[in-house]
Amino acid sequence: MATQTLSAPRTAAIREKVDAFFASIGQGMNAYMERRSRMDQINNLEAKTDEELSKLGIKRDRIVQHVFRDLFYV
């Protein structure tokens, strides 16, 4: 039978490094997603009148599709 002993300080240090690594990835993902957010564009179009949207060639029920047209073919 084999046994293995781990010291607590060493394990805690490794855990802290792993936590810090994933926290930095999470922060980077949050910044990336905020930059890619298109809610401002959607809200601006939602605030327009139907006439203004018509001049832009957009129907109110197609605003989201219009904003994300470069990502999805709908």
pTM above 0.75, yes or no: no
What token pair was written down for 46? 């939602």
Q: What is the 3-state secondary structure (H, E, C) of 5-18?
A: CCCHHHHHHHHHHH
What is the separation, in whole angstroms, between the first and last Cα of the chain?
A: 62
Per domain, the residue ranges of the chain are: 8-37, 38-74
pLDDT digits (tens, 9 = 90+) for 4-59: 666 555 677 888 998 999 888 888 888 787 777 888 899 999 999 999 999 999 99
User: Structure tokens of 41?
Assistant: 């564009």
53 burial (CB, 10 Å; 0-12 / 13-18 / 19+) is middle
